[in-house]
Amino acid sequence: MSIFVIAEIGINHNGEMSIAKKLIDVAVLSGCNAVKFQKRELDLVYTQELLDSPRESPWGTTQREQKSALEFGFEEYSEITEYCKSKDIEWFASAWDPASQEFLGQFNCKYNKVASAMTIDPEFLKLVASEGKHTFISTGMCTMEEISQAVSIFRDLNCSFELMHTVSTYPMRDEDANLRVIDTLRNRFKCDVGYSGHETGLAVSFGAAALGITSLERHITLDRSMYGSDQSASVEPAGMMQLVGAVHKIEEAMGTGEKCILEAEIPIAKKLRSHLGWEAVD
């Protein structure tokens, strides 16, 4: 099974549909399987105190003004739906509250995503799992007990899922990646495991691909110098093209693990071992 590559647009569109469409184009050109957004109801996710607190941004001087500007609504997601259909790429989003999950249900996306922040909320997990869509579950900031609870909920509700090893720092330091957790999760829960990366660069994602991940999610941006808290941990267009091509090459190069002499090696062996009287064994 080929690694399922997700281009995380998130809020890197900065509230502009033109940027969102350009990022979708980047994902398509790079060979990604899907693009992902984020959806939240501000008054459910944040306190009034935080929303009223100061924050300088291109849209105003409060947290509410900044966060409101980054939220797409029904009209925007309807346009995204049509645009992705025209480009033959899937889209879905991670909801940060039950109302947002129900909102996203209007668009009949093929997949669901549970953000690391929501993986510890059993009622939210039951809501997502009840939809029966294949779900990517991020595991950043989670204990093994919390991950186990999430796995149990999805299995109890017979909903297809895979875990995604995640470290929730932005950007993540390479030395914090702890990629061996991919094997730990796979062995513990007997399920597919992907990787959601927040590092700068591509090397760590290449390492994850070599460990047999089934999905890979990376944030994408048009330019890391753009406004936004996720931009510095995002991959620019040229990097995304390189990433997707390389992870599929790595996947192919890993092979089966069975040691054998290739047909293409036989004439070389005959030449280099002629002085030993070597003959191929059927």
Domain extent listing, the chain = 4-257
Average pLDDT over residues 87-92: 98
Average pLDDT over residues 232-253: 97
Is the pLDDT reported for residue 282 higher than 80?
A: no
What would the DSSP string read from start to end of 42-71?
HHHHS-HHHHHSEEEETTEEEHHHHHHHT-
Q: Residue 206 is inside which H or E element, if any?
A: helix 203-210
Average pLDDT over residues 249-273: 96
Average pLDDT over residues 273-277: 95
CA angle 224, 211, 90 (to 5 degrees): 55
Q: What gap in Å lies between CA 210 and CA 223, rounded to an integer?
A: 28
Share of the chain above pLDDT 70, in %: 100
Task: From residue 263, give the alpha-carbon distance in Å to each of 57, 270, 280.
Answer: 62, 12, 10
Q: What gap in Å lies between CA 221 and CA 27, rounded to an integer?
A: 10
In this prediction, residue 224 carries a pLDDT of: 95
140 band by pLDDT with thresholds 50, 70 and 90: very high
Average pLDDT over residues 90-115: 98
In this prediction, residue 143 carries a pLDDT of: 98
> Residue 55: CA atoms inside 13 Å, Cβ hemisphere, count?
18
In this prediction, residue 70 carries a pLDDT of: 97
1 band by pLDDT with thresholds 50, 70 and 90: low
164 by DSSP, 3-state: which?
A: strand
Q: Does the domain spanning 4-257 belong to CATH 3.90.1150.10? A: no
In this prediction, residue 100 carries a pLDDT of: 98
Is the pLDDT reported for residue 281 higher than 90?
A: no
Is the pLDDT reported for residue 177 higher than 90?
A: yes
Average pLDDT of the chain to the nearest whole number: 97
Average pLDDT over residues 261-267: 95
Q: Tokens for 15, please give them.
A: 């509230």
Exposure of 166 by Cβ count < 10 A (0-12 exposed, 13-18 middle, 19+ buried)? Answer: buried
The tens digit of pLDDT for each residue in 6-55 reads 999 999 999 999 999 999 999 999 999 999 999 999 999 999 999 999 99
